[in-house]
């Protein structure tokens, strides 16, 4: 089944900017026998996303007590029961303020995303890691990333951007999202004229030219060094092959189907309406991924100082976190925790939905990494210590999952650095001041 085009033929074609017309039928046999790559030889694309929710967690009802595998599910993480093996929970990772104020609801999010504590509320000091990842992996996808929020006022409900004042606005209408994806501009991945990127072709020929030095060098070294040269050239060849795959027609996406149009529902702040909108958006998003329209997304469930309400109640989630006393007997805020549980149900739904779509030898979730986080830990007093963060998915086997990782006061930047390295970015350290780190989450990125 595996077929690699003759290198020189591809190069000739690419150099001459030839257009490869590829119109292929949709067949299961596109996937190779072990399901890790498409039959063309292209590996399945690895996607990246974030899932944000506002107002944190109730620490005693969220964070497992023991680090490692098989962590226990607490009331606020019950919704992860089905996918626990593919979700890791991070605790004890702090945002270092570096002399800046802790802006209520405006410090934790930007610190996690940009590795730098903000000097103005809710302001990214540099590019967020999802943007850096999108630059690296979005390739020829139609959308570099998609930004969504199922809650009213969604445009400003974003944690993604390039820096101060350069936020990526979120889409809060499922219908608008549908039209953007599957309207007349839709590019069916399975019926497409393919133009290989001439720069990739050129880069590949560059590497193969380096490989030409092999013989002359090998003739001049001793036996031990010859083995080392062998290793070097084998490694070089592998990088060359990765480029070759990019020159082939894009992977056909057998599971890509244009979904039915969604109804136009006005975004709301009522948590149940927001959840329903979230579910519609999630389904559209899965198809956007299966049709390779985008490889990166940001889903912002609610905003930082969340004004989510419950049907029939005038009090918002944000007010509850402040007004409601910590019940002395229970040890937590009984009403506020219900909001957290409700939000976490939606996070559970989101992950489970991604895991419900078969792809290759596993599921869509297995070929993605989702970083979920909030902007505070205990919202009542706006703590930015032990900011809740989760890693979902396996990123095509690049990361370990199903772990509770205890940070013991280390910076939250370790999460961003890990995500970026897992997605293949060339980066050895990240963050500034007390948030600068060279350490990845070694348990996750082995």
Partner 1 sequence: MGLGGFRATAETRTYVVERFTYAMYYDADFQKVCPYGWLPNLEEAFLQSIGPDERKRLMQPENAPERSKRFRGEFTEGNAGEDLCSNPKSFESDPRYPLMLDRAVQSKVAYGLDLDGRTDGAATANSCQHEKFVSPNNQPGIDNQAFRALGCARTWRGGSDAGGDQVQFEQAHMKDGNYNYLIEIRGITDLQNDEVEVGVYSTDDKPHMGLDGKFVPYQTFSTKKEMRFVNTLHGRIVKRVLTTDAVDSLRVETKYPVSGGNGMGTAHERVFRGARFQLTLNGDGTLKGVMGAYEKPEEVMFVGRIGGKALATVDGAVCPLENKLLEALADGYPDPKTGKCTHISLAYAVEATPAFIVHAEAASTDKISAANSD
Partner 2 sequence: MTKKGEFNLLAAAVMAAMLAVPLVSMADLQQPPASDHIDGMYRLTEGQYRNTIADIFGPDIVTGGRFEPTSRRPHGLLAPGNYQIAVSPSGMEQFAAMARKIAGQVIDENHRTALIGCKPAFAGRADDRCATRFFSRVTPLLYRRPLSKPEVQQLVSIASAASATTHDFYAGLGLALEAALVSPSFLFQMDELQALPGHAGEWALDQYAKASRLSFFLWNTSPDEELLEAARKGKLQTSRGLEKQVDRMMGSVRLKVGVRSFFFDMLQMDKLADLTKDSIVYPQFISEVRSDMSEQLLRTLTAQLIEEKRDYREIFTTRRTYMTDALAAIYHVPVPVQVGWFPYEFPADSARAGILTQIEFLAAFSHNGRSSPTIRGQGIRELLLCQAVPDPPGNVDFTAFDASHAKTVRDRLTEHRSNPACAGCHKIMDPLGLTLENFDGIGVFRVSENGSPIDASASIDGKDVKDAVGLGKAISEMPAATSCLVSRLVEYGTRRPSTDKAWLANLNSQFAGAGYRLSAIMKSIAMSDLFYARYPRPLQKETR
Q: Which one of residues 12, 228, 408, 439 is an interface residue with partner 1 (CB under 8 A)?
A: 408
Which pair of tokens denotes residue 358?
């078969």
Q: Is 428 in the site for partner 2 (CB under 8 A)?
A: yes
Cβ neighbours for 270, distance < 8 A, ≥ 6 positions apart: 308, 309, 310, 311
Instruction: Report the Cα 178 to chain-centroid distance in Å.
Output: 20
Strand, helix or coil at 363?
A: strand
Rounded CA separation 200/4 (Å): 16
Closest approach of Cβ 268 to partner 2, in Å?
43
Which pair of tokens denotes residue 63?
């964070």
- Per-residue x/- track, 288-317, partner 1 (CB under 8 A): ------------------------xxx---
Q: 14 or 90, CB closer to partner 2?
A: 14
User: Segment contacting partner 1 (CB under 8 A): 20-28, 217-225, 275-283, 325-333?
Assistant: 325-333
Q: Which one of residues 19, 206, 315, 330 is an interface residue with partner 2 (CB under 8 A)?
A: 206
Strand, helix or coil at 252?
A: coil
For the beta carbon of residue 393, count every other beta carbon within 10 angstroms.
Answer: 30
Closest approach of Cβ 132 to partner 1, in Å?
26
274 membership: H or E segment, kind and range: helix 271-290
For the beta carbon of residue 203, count every other beta carbon within 10 angstroms.
Answer: 16
Q: 242 or 383, CB closer to partner 1?
A: 383
- Per-residue x/- track, 358-397, partner 1 (CB under 8 A): ----------------------xxxx-x------------
Q: 236 or 255, CB closer to partner 2?
A: 236
Q: Which one of residues 221, 315, 326, 381 is an interface residue with partner 2 (CB under 8 A)?
A: 221
Burial class (CB in 10 A: 0-12, 13-18, 19+), 253: buried
Q: 361 or 436, CB closer to partner 1?
A: 436
Q: 191 or 381, CB closer to partner 1?
A: 381
CA dihedral of residues 293, 133, 374, 389 (deg, nearest 10): 110
Rounded CA separation 124/116 (Å): 8
Residue 207 interacting entry, from partner 1, partner 2, none, C-beta within 5 to 8 Å by type: partner 2
Cβ neighbours for 7, distance < 8 A, ≥ 6 positions apart: 204, 208, 244
- Residue in the structure block whose two tokens are 């976190």: 321
Which pair of tokens denotes residue 345?
């149900």
Rounded CA separation 88/389 (Å): 9
Site for partner 1 (CB under 8 A): how many residues?
A: 29
Residue 427 interacting entry, from partner 1, partner 2, none, C-beta within 5 to 8 Å by type: partner 2
Rounded CA separation 183/179 (Å): 5
Residue 102 interacting entry, from partner 2, partner 1, none, C-beta within 5 to 8 Å by type: partner 1
Q: Is 165 in the site for partner 1 (CB under 8 A)?
A: no
User: Segment contacting partner 2 (CB under 8 A): 167-175, 225-233, 324-332, 347-355?
Assistant: 225-233
Footprint on residues 95-124 left by partner 1 (CB under 8 A): 96-97, 99, 101-104, 106, 119-121
Instruction: Please choose, from the candidates 415, 419, 271, 287, the residue with its C-alpha nearest in 3D space to the C-alpha of residue 346.
Output: 271
Q: Is 272 in the site for partner 1 (CB under 8 A)?
A: no
Q: Is 201 in the site for partner 2 (CB under 8 A)?
A: yes
CA dihedral of residues 316, 317, 319, 322 (deg, nearest 10): 170
First-residue to last-residue Cα distance in the chain: 32
Which pair of tokens denotes residue 19?
């257009």
Q: 167 or 422, CB closer to partner 2?
A: 422
Q: 142 or 317, CB closer to partner 1?
A: 317
Cβ neighbours for 213, distance < 8 A, ≥ 6 positions apart: none
Which chain residues interact with partner 1 by CB under 8 A?
A: 96-97, 99, 101-104, 106, 119-121, 312-314, 318-319, 322-323, 325-328, 380-383, 385, 408-409
Which chain residues interact with partner 2 by CB under 8 A?
A: 14-15, 17, 96, 198-199, 201-203, 205-207, 209-210, 212-213, 215-217, 219-225, 227-229, 231-232, 234-236, 238-239, 242, 408-411, 421, 424-428, 434, 436-439
């Amino acid at each position: 089944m595996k077929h690699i085009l003759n290198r020189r033929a591809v190069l000739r074609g690419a150099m001459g900017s030839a257009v490869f017309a590829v119109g292929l039928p949709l067949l299961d046999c596109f996937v190779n026998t072990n399901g890790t790559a498409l039959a063309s030889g292209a590996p399945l694309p690895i996607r990246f996303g974030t899932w944000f929710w506002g107002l944190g967690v109730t620490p005693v009802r969220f964070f497992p007590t023991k680090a490692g595998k098989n962590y226990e599910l607490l009331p606020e993480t019950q919704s992860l029961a089905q996918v626990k093996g593919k979700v890791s929970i991070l605790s004890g990772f702090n945002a270092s303020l570096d002399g800046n104020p802790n802006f209520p609801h405006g410090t934790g999010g930007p610190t996690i995303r940009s590795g730098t504590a903000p000097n103005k509320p809710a302001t990214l000091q540099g590019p967020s890691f999802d943007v850096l990842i999108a630059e690296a992996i979005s390739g020829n996808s139609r959308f570099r990333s998609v930004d969504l929020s199922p809650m009213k006022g969604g445009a400003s409900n974003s944690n993604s951007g390039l820096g101060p004042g350069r936020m990526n606005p979120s889409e809060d209408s499922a219908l608008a999202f549908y039209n953007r994806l599957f309207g007349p501009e839709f590019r069916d991945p399975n019926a497409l004229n393919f133009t290989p990127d001439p720069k990739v072709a050129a880069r590949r020929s560059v590497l193969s030219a380096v490989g030409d030095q092999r013989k002359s060098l090998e003739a001049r070294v001793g036996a031990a060094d010859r083995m080392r040269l062998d290793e070097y050239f084998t490694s070089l060849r592998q990088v060359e092959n990765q480029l070759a795959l990019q020159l082939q027609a894009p992977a056909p996406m057998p599971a890509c189907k244009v979904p039915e149009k969604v109804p136009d529902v006005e975004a709301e702040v009522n948590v149940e309406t927001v959840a329903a909108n979230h579910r519609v958006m999630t389904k559209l998003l899965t198809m956007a991924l299966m049709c390779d329209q985008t490889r990166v997304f940001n889903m912002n469930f609610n905003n930082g100082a969340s004004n989510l309400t419950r049907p029939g109640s005038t009090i918002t989630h944000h007010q509850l976190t402040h007004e409601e006393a910590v019940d002395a007997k229970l040890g937590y805020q009984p009403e506020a925790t219900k909001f957290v549980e409700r939000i976490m149900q939606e996070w559970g739904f989101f992950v489970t939905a991604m895991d419900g779509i078969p792809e290759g030898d596993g599921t869509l979730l297995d070929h993605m990494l989702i970083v979920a986080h909030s902007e505070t830990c205990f919202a009542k007093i706006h703590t930015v210590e032990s900011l809740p963060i989760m890693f979902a998915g396996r990123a095509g086997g690049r990361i370990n999952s199903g772990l509770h990782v205890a940070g013991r006061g280390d910076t939250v930047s370790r999460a961003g650095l890990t995500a970026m390295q897992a997605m293949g970015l060339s980066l050895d350290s990240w963050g500034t001041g007390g948030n600068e780190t060279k350490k990845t989450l070694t348990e996750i990125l082995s």
